[in-house]
Chain A
Amino acid sequence: MRRAAVLCGVSLWLLGSAPVCAETHKDEKLGYSINVPQGWNAIPIAGQEKYIVARWQSDKEYLDGREGVSMRPEIEVVLFDPHGKKTAQVRQGEGGTTTDITIENPYRTYKDWVKGDSTGGRYISKEEEITVGDVKVTWYEVAYEKLTVPRHGLAYVFHAEDIDYCFTTEILEQHWQKANAMLFRALKSVKLFPRTGTVKRETTGDSDVTVVKDLSKLSPEERYKQRVEEFERKLRISTERLTEGWKVVRGRHHVALTHADAKFTDRVLEQADLVREWLDANLAYMGTGIAGPEMLRICKDSDEERAFSDLSSRSGGWVREICTSPSDGAWGFGWVAGRLFDGWLNDKNRRLASALPPWVERGVSDWIGSAYVKGGKLAFRPDGDLIVALKLSAKLKKLIPVKDLLQMTSVQVMEWDEKERGAGGAAGGVPAPDSMLAWRISAWQQTSGFMRYLLEGPGKRDAKTKDLLPTYVASLEAVVTEQEGKPMEAGTIPSAPKTEAEEEERFKNRESYWKDHEKDLLKAAFERTFKDWTEADWESLEKSYRAYAAK
């Protein structure tokens, strides 16, 4: 249990320090307390985090005018295990359909931590053994100097007999002189005492390696049941880690952990639930699975969101939860919707999710991302950037023919963009003038454009294309299933090469195998979908799509 008390500056004033208030954070379970500068925001620790146990963010933003950056300092508490070793545990996940591998690689020392979790361009500029109270402490300072924003790191590592408690912080170098007294005061205030809990805390396991095994073992309902149980476990852990002011709000399909106001929270939850219902109603043909609930993390602003999302590198580095905040604006709603679609599709049909071509994956995701709530229903707003992109592409005769677009792999989409971007873009760091144009007419944008044509444009009404998406998905699913179930032909398992020439030939072929495999897959799905189409059908589609794009 955490208790916060406010210590005002009288005693500090008597000691001759600045009259700064501090709030005492006391963690009985972990056995430590610290006086955090007053006004600093306690950030919840994500369920997936294994080593950081507390974090506070400054209420003040510090600027570095020369570098053009700003920073809110944070104080973090990290536990180090000086005798820790890397271990791995293997357990069966979701009803035997997956194998979860939990990798524990505890930080052993502050140097270990800095190596893994700091940006480069720094070195430890100070290392000194001191005593705080009756506890041995190593005092570190870190200088961030080369190819980075100049910053000053400070850490006190308190050596208990079985573990080390590290209290660490960082600030822009140009503010170090003025701010260091406040930071030192906080770190020197740390006290250790016998803990009531264990230092090894339960985590959600989101940073662990999950290996898909056999999806067909359980029925969709059984899988759903297990999914819900696992969700509730994660929700419990995340709820236990909330700090003061956070609330848990349940919607129809989703649960929000929120630090934003009730109105914004309701908006996010309502939209998320409507997105789920839209997906279930309109894309049900994508699979037989039943999508599980999702947790939404709503921070009060982008600073809090950034601080919350940033995890230790050995816990995955970045949070896997769906996070947003009011600062994200309309983009945030789109982002949440896109993530919900990813999760929904994964639960619905994991195999299909990994086989979708860009025009479906990106197209549907962007479409969902443009959704908003209007009169209690989901509506889709026009995408200004996309409209401009399609118009420009049409005008410059850069529209990719539909036949080609539908067979493009991700690599081909990227290659198309690279080619259009032309010289100078990547090399000099400054895009050539025509590169900006190339960004706008990107093939990625065009994949989204064609999906819009199908879902809201003339394609939605045309007899030939109104069912194109479900037909295509069915074809793709069939092709993937056939390929997976294809028995190995005799002699297809190659023996090891016997000569260097044979080995070189294999190497040459292997380099292009994956590229060709994806191309072949999309080609087969394409041919199956459009086997009855005539040249006239294609001409008609091209004409209609071009007109839509140019409009």
Chain B
Amino acid sequence: MRTPRLLTLLALLALSSSDATVPPAGADTLLLTDGRTVDCPKAEKQADGSWKITFQNGEIVVPGNQVKDAFLTGAQGYEPKNDEEREKVAKGLVPHDGKWMPTSERDSRLAKRAAETKKRIEEAKAHREWRNRYKAKTANFEFEYTIPPDIAKGYMDLMETYYSVFTKQFGVSRPPKEKLKVCFYHDYETFLEVSGAGYGTLAYYRFVAPRELNFYYDRLRPEQTMAIMFHEAQHYLSHLMNLKFHIPHNFSEAFAEYYGGSTWDAAKKSMGTGGLQEGRLTEIQTDIAAGEKKPLLKFLRNELGYEDYTWGWSFVHFLMETPKYQKKFKQFYLALPNGKDVARTPFQMDMVTVEGDALLKAFQKYLGAEDIPALEKEWYDYIDKNLKVQTVAGLEEAAFAAASTGRSIRARRLFKEAVDKGSTNPVVYLRYGELLRGEGSEQAEAMFRKGLAIDSLNAELYTELGRTIRGRSGEANEAEGKRLIKLAAELDPDNVETWLLVEDALEKAGPPAAPKPGNDKYAGCCGPWR
């Protein structure tokens, strides 16, 4: 049975939106530091360095430090401030680049600059197509990427640092003639399309030739991007222990997840391990809340699957952070591919692996752990007492998890904690605002506006803010709500999901517009396309 909400939405989809919501062709373009571009009718730089962007349905101010480059089509008029300036303006002069010059010269300079800027922006846009990707070689890797080079550089440097630190720790090195190819995409959608990964996969390391690593940049969660990159790099390093060995999924993923939590201290020039993967911890806590704990025996026999990333990670964390187990566990991990006392079975092609009971047996031998139930209890206690969500990012993950499982009281508490700790993720403000709407539209509005203060170009926040305001009575609220929703459509004209929200929000807009008649030589007698 469908919910009333779905019915409403579906019915509304039948409504056509008015022409007023169709954004005009953009005249000016801003290139943001996070790689996004914004097309708009008009953009003006303000005295404080910020940019005022004018759309048909409103103005938006973008902080100057978020704008990397700007392409402006028209020169702005100049308002003289005193008589001297008025006299110069009357002679056809305008101030530009610190001096007065004829308008034609100013325009010529502006045109030249605009052409250069346009080229830069077009190039930046074009590089988001995989066929135009950037390529760069570092000491140990070959990077191919579609994110802005200045952002990519930070990750490339980190990757080299990670490699340098952990190849020493593990006593491994890459084949002399082979640099691993690393493919780095500017968003998740592109990652899925180009890398071939299935939906839900965040990254992968291809362990057969041509070996390569694929992951994407999450602009809202850069710390997650780093964790994923380290995770995949750990797969590579582990594989270097023996290229003919396939590490069983349970330890491979759990171990990689543990090292994915590594952090680089630039001041001390040291790589730290043992960081909490708070997103994973959140999933574990959700399982526990639902009354489920994963059995250790299933993990050790490689029978868990996805939970190797969550429960498996916590188990490796427990072993690596508990002094009495750490050394033994490392010895066990290193023995898997090369130890003489580990029974291996054929895997794909010419590779071998360790399976089920043999894996369990090897673990028990190296760890000296005969009593699995006792170890399991110790592990559960460790999760309970030692693993706590601490950071803003962790609180955000926990809040999202609670919201998506219908636990709104918990979600509200966690969102509030994340906001109080200074979350800069606009999606937090969006989801928290939606939850608050039930308590009062003023609270929701305040939250949406806080989100817009962080990301003033977020179409979803404008849509939800508009819906909230329209929910109040009065013509003024109705008009303001609609304006905000239409502004959202101007900001994100190509996003089908945004259009769904827009059309849903414009429920009271009236009947569908009449279809336009066919207008060309290809239109037949039986009517147009729509």
A9 within 8 A of B: no
Chain B residues whose C-beta falls within 8 Å of the C-beta of A89 in the assembled complex: 14
Chain A residues whose C-beta falls within 8 Å of the C-beta of B522 in the assembled complex: 31, 160-163, 192, 194-195
B301 within 8 A of A: yes
A179-187, A255-263, A304-312, A426-434: which lies at the B interface? A426-434
- Mark each residue of chain B from 493 to 530: 1 if its CB lies under 8 Å from any CB of chain A, else 0: 00010011001000000000000001111111111111
* Distance of A429 Cα from B349 Cα, bound (Å): 12
Chain A residue with Cβ nearest B16: A85
Partner of A124, one of B17, B131, B305, B526: B131
Contact of A200 with B407 in the complex, beta carbons under 8 Å: no
Residues 400-423 (chain B) with a chain A CB within 8 angstroms: 405-410, 413
- Mark each residue of chain B from 129 to 170: 1 if its CB lies under 8 Å from any CB of chain A, else 0: 111000000000000000000000000000000000000000
Contact of A123 with B409 in the complex, beta carbons under 8 Å: no
Contact of A121 with B194 in the complex, beta carbons under 8 Å: yes
Contact of A120 with B524 in the complex, beta carbons under 8 Å: no
A115 within 8 A of B: yes
Contact of A423 with B301 in the complex, beta carbons under 8 Å: yes
Interface range on chain A (Cβ under 8 Å from partner): 35 or more
* Distance of A428 Cα from B409 Cα, bound (Å): 41
A11-19, A281-289, A449-457, A495-503: which lies at the B interface? A495-503
* Distance of A192 Cα from B413 Cα, bound (Å): 61
Contact of B519 with A161 in the complex, beta carbons under 8 Å: yes
How many of B's residues come within 8 Å of A, CB to CB? 66
A331 within 8 A of B: no
Chain B residues whose C-beta falls within 8 Å of the C-beta of A119 in the assembled complex: 196
Chain A residue with Cβ nearest B494: A108
Partner of B529, one of A105, A121, A199, A429: A199
Chain B residues whose C-beta falls within 8 Å of the C-beta of A143 in the assembled complex: 131
- Mark each residue of chain A from 86 to 105: 1 if its CB lies under 8 Å from any CB of chain B, else 0: 11111000000000010101
Residues 474-501 (chain B) with a chain A CB within 8 angstroms: 496, 499-500
Contact of B524 with A196 in the complex, beta carbons under 8 Å: yes
- Mark each residue of chain B from 298 to 330: 1 if its CB lies under 8 Å from any CB of chain A, else 0: 000111010000000000000000000000000
* Distance of A198 Cα from B527 Cα, bound (Å): 6
Chain B residues whose C-beta falls within 8 Å of the C-beta of A497 in the assembled complex: 409
Known contacts A162-B529, A195-B524; A88 and B14 CB within 8 A of each other: yes
B197 within 8 A of A: yes
- Mark each residue of chain A from 181 to 224: 1 if its CB lies under 8 Å from any CB of chain B, else 0: 00000000000101111111000000000010000000000000
Chain A residues whose C-beta falls within 8 Å of the C-beta of B14 in the assembled complex: 87-90
B84-92, B236-244, B353-361, B371-379: which lies at the A interface? B353-361
A177 within 8 A of B: no
* Distance of A121 Cα from B191 Cα, bound (Å): 9
B467 within 8 A of A: no
A243-251, A506-514, A522-530, A542-550: which lies at the B interface? A506-514
A503 CB, nearest partner CB in chain B, Å: 5
B248 within 8 A of A: yes
Partner of A81, one of B11, B346, B521, B530: B530
Chain A residues whose C-beta falls within 8 Å of the C-beta of B250 in the assembled complex: 427
Chain B residues whose C-beta falls within 8 Å of the C-beta of A510 in the assembled complex: 406
Contact of B409 with A423 in the complex, beta carbons under 8 Å: no
Known contacts A87-B13, A123-B129; A503 and B520 CB within 8 A of each other: no
Residues 445-485 (chain B) with a chain A CB within 8 angstroms: none
Tell me whether chain B's interface is mostly helix, strand or loop, or mixed.
Answer: loop
Contact of A507 with B290 in the complex, beta carbons under 8 Å: yes
Contact of A148 with B196 in the complex, beta carbons under 8 Å: yes
B76 CB, nearest partner CB in chain A, Å: 33
* Distance of A192 Cα from B524 Cα, bound (Å): 12
Chain A residues whose C-beta falls within 8 Å of the C-beta of B214 in the assembled complex: 146
B271 CB, nearest partner CB in chain A, Å: 30
* Distance of A200 Cα from B130 Cα, bound (Å): 34
Chain A residues whose C-beta falls within 8 Å of the C-beta of B410 in the assembled complex: 500, 503-504
Contact of A507 with B289 in the complex, beta carbons under 8 Å: yes
Residues 322-380 (chain A) with a chain B CB within 8 angstroms: none
A424 within 8 A of B: yes
Chain A residue with Cβ nearest B308: A427
* Distance of A88 Cα from B13 Cα, bound (Å): 5
Chain A residues whose C-beta falls within 8 Å of the C-beta of B359 in the assembled complex: 423
Chain A residue with Cβ nearest B289: A504
A197 CB, nearest partner CB in chain B, Å: 5
Contact of A428 with B500 in the complex, beta carbons under 8 Å: no
A174 within 8 A of B: no
B132 CB, nearest partner CB in chain A, Å: 10
A39 within 8 A of B: no
* Distance of A105 Cα from B10 Cα, bound (Å): 12
B291 within 8 A of A: yes
* Distance of A265 Cα from B118 Cα, bound (Å): 64
Residues on A close to B: CB < 8 A? 29, 31, 79, 81, 83-90, 101, 103, 105, 115, 119-126, 143, 145-148, 160-163, 192, 194-200, 211, 422-424, 426-430, 432, 497, 499-500, 503-504, 507-508, 510-512
Having A423-B303, A423-B357, one finds 6 other A-B pairs with CB under 8 Å, namely: A31-B524, A146-B214, A161-B521, A428-B347, A497-B409, A503-B410
16 contacts between A and B (CB under 8 A): A83-B530, A87-B14, A88-B14, A123-B131, A123-B193, A126-B131, A146-B194, A160-B522, A163-B522, A194-B522, A424-B302, A426-B303, A427-B249, A427-B250, A427-B355, A507-B290
The 3 lowest CB-CB distance pairs between A and B, nearest first, are A121-B196, A423-B356, A147-B196
